[in-house]
Amino acid sequence: MSNPDLAKALPTFYRAYLQISNFVASSLAVFNRSQVEKFIDVLMQAYRSGRRVLVMGAGRSGLVGRAFAMRLKHLGYDVYVLGDTIVSPVKQGDIVVAISGSGRTALIVTAAEAAKTVGAIVVAITSYIDSPLAKIADIVVEVPGRTKVSTVEDYFARQVLGLHESLAPLGTLFEDCAMIFLDAIIAELMQKLNKSEEDLREQHANIEV
């Protein structure tokens, strides 16, 4: 549904909103059923066995990861986010969900390598199935995003240099797709675990400022 008044008053906002929303909508056709099912299966196994889940990502991907971790916590998972002060040790059989559009972010690749050395199951959420992160991972879920990888591969270097893309700069498309993908994963887990919104609300923080 179009909004001519908004398009006229804020043309860049309007075009960006359409580009991002259209990209996210069309991305559903790209997802690989087997990859998604493996991801859901390993999360179901973690729930039933009480295995820990560690979520990690840098920058905005890290924020997407935090949102996913919060919902997993609401579902009853023993879940942590890399970089937080309170993080339990990762052990054999635990699940590590690593989010990186390029699959080359040095911090995340290094952390994934460390997780593998202790026998954790690494899940890579990335746009590049041939990336270093994907090659480390036990399960790879290809999430559409950037059309090309910056020649400056390290996340922090890209931020310092200010490299960006028009309308959807840096990893915007990947991050938006990843956020919606992971929210949909939560919905599937709710159904499989027979959890209601009220069940999640009971796990929500009740002491906030």
What is the DSSP track for 54-116? EEEESHHHHHHHHHHHHHHHHHT-EEEETTSS--PPP-TT-EEEEE-SSS--HHHHHHHHHHH
Distances (CA, A) of 171 to 58, 99, 108: 11, 12, 15
Nearest-angstrom CA–CA distance, 180 and 8: 29
CB-based contacts of 83: which residues, under 8 Å, 6+ apart?
A: 56, 62
Nearest-angstrom CA–CA distance, 110 and 112: 5
| Given 37, 142, 165, 175, the catalytic residue | 175
Tell me, what amino acid is at 116? Answer: K
In the residue annotation, 175 being an active-site residue is answered as: yes
Residue closest to 159 by CA, chosen among 105, 203, 198 = 105
The token pair that represents 96 in the structure block: 């590590």
Q: Which active-site residues does the annotation give?
A: 175
